[in-house]
Amino acid sequence: RLGALASDEAMVYTHIQNAGNEGIWTKSLKAKLNMHATVINRCLKQLEQRQLVKSVKNVKYPTRKTYMLFNLKPSVELTGGPWFNDNELDVGFIEGLLQAVYTFIEKKTFIGDNYQVWPTSRTDKYPTLSDIRRFVHTSGLTEVKLEEEHVKSLLDVLVYDGQVESLPGSGMGGWEEDEESEEERERSRERRKKRKRTYSSGLTEVPCGVCEVFDFCAPKGPVNARDCNYYDDWLLPEKTARGRVNPAGKGVKRREGAEDAAEGEETVEEGEGTWDEAGEGEEGDEGGGMEIGYEEETFEEYD
């Protein structure tokens, strides 16, 4: 099989063979062999036709073309490991796993309805890395066998999210259950859950907290707090129900009736799309806050 190759093809093949599991990039191949791009491409095409080499996708550098021997499996580096599905980070899978691990740790941390916690003398009650790994395997969430480092990276993510914290292990208990080679394990690390509810700053319940034009909003400007649409919605839910409110700039004709007014308003808001439009809408109503108030009254009177 090899004998039938031309000299340059053979050189290309040898280099690819040397790259082994990792594969080799076309550009580096070109640099090593010092051949012209077209020559190399021709060789590669021929080798592919003969099913001697194949091209694989590298998850770290998706735009590169990486080649390796046909019968080899790409290394974990290239495929990205268990998190990647078709070279795409499988976010749903990861999130599912995170949730499962978190719930597992939560159950082990808090006992009963009163969220009882273990005293410090019983840290061995908290799950260790190997416990969690075992849980993931037996839970049947995935057929993929996860190595320790994968579980560890999951746990690290949970730590960054502020959901769990890691405690230095008691050492003894972990070793006994340890099946892996001793030199790989430094110390069994245990995980405890921190029931950290996010501390609300009170900012986000107010429209200003999530308002996109907050920086633009100023007392006498086109966008200001007095005529703010979002404040209308926030302050006057009952008024919308009665159809009295007339959000700035949206026109009087939207007084259809109780629910419709509320819904109509919202759909128009979402339909606005860009924030420039919303700004303009409010701009057109500058100084009109009070006037529209008057109009409201007159309409009401002749109800």
Partner 1 sequence: MADNPTTRLCVQIIRTFFGEACSEIGRVLLSHGRLLLPKIVRLTGLKPRTVRACLIVLIQHNVVWFAENEAEDGDGSRGDTFYEVNVEEVCMRLRFGRFVEIAGEAFGDEASGIIKCILDHGKLRLPALIDLLQVTDAKKKNSHRSTFHALVNSHYLTPTSRLLHTSPKDKLIAWEEAEKRKLKEIPSAKILKSLREEVEDKLRREREGQTTGLKRKATTTSGRPRKRARGRDREEEDEEVVDDDVWFRVNYERFNVHLRDSLVVHGAGERYNPSFGLVIRALLEAADSVPKAYPRLSDVRSNPVSTHTVSTFLPAGSGSSNHHSNSNSHSPALSAGLKLPSSSTAPTSALKQYLLVLSASDNPSPAGQAGAFVSRFAGGGGGEGKVQVEFETIAERMRRRVVEGYVRERWGDGAGRVLGILWGGTMMDERQIAKVALMQAAVVRSALTSLQTAGFLSLQQVPKTPQREPARSFFLWFCSPQACYTALLSTLYGTIANLLERLEREEDVATREVARPWNVARAERSAEREGIRTERERKRDRVWGAVGRADGGVLVLRDLVSGVGWGTGLAI
Q: How far apart are CB 100 and partner 1 at their closest, in Å?
A: 14
Q: Indicate the residue among 70 and 275 with the shorter CB distance to partner 1.
A: 275
Q: What whole-number distance in Å separates Cα of residue 286 and Cα of residue 220? A: 9
Q: What whole-number distance in Å separates Cα of residue 226 and Cα of residue 264? A: 22
C-alpha dist (Å) from residue 212 to 207, 215, 217, 302: 10, 8, 10, 38
103: phi then psi, degrees, rounded to nearest 5: -65, -40
Q: What whole-number distance in Å separates Cα of residue 123 and Cα of residue 108? A: 11
44: DSSP letter: H
Residue 40: closest CA among 18, 51, 24, 62: 24
SS3 274: coil
Q: Indicate the residue among 16 and 133 with the shorter CB distance to partner 1.
A: 133
| Site residues for partner 1 per CB under 8 A | 83, 88-89, 91, 94, 110-111, 114-123, 153-154, 156-157, 160-162, 165-168, 194-206, 208-210, 214, 217-219, 224-226, 228, 231, 234-236, 238, 289-290, 293, 297, 301
Q: Indicate the residue among 104 and 126 with the shorter CB distance to partner 1.
A: 126
Q: How far apart are CB 52 and partner 1 at their closest, in Å?
A: 33
Q: How far apart are CB 51 and partner 1 at their closest, in Å?
A: 33
Q: What whole-number distance in Å separates Cα of residue 222 and Cα of residue 286? A: 6
Residue 194: closest CA among 228, 218, 158, 229: 158
Q: How far apart are CB 200 and partner 1 at their closest, in Å?
A: 6
Q: How far apart are CB 253 and partner 1 at their closest, in Å?
A: 22
E strand or H helix that includes residue 249: none
Single-letter amino acid, residue 169: G
State the angle between helix axes of 129-139 and 91-109 in degrees (0 to 180), rounded to the nearest 10. Answer: 120
Asked if residues 127 and 120 have their Cβ atoms less than 8 Å apart, the reply is no
Q: Indicate the residue among 260 and 297 with the shorter CB distance to partner 1.
A: 297
Asked if residues 244 and 293 have their Cβ atoms less than 8 Å apart, the reply is no
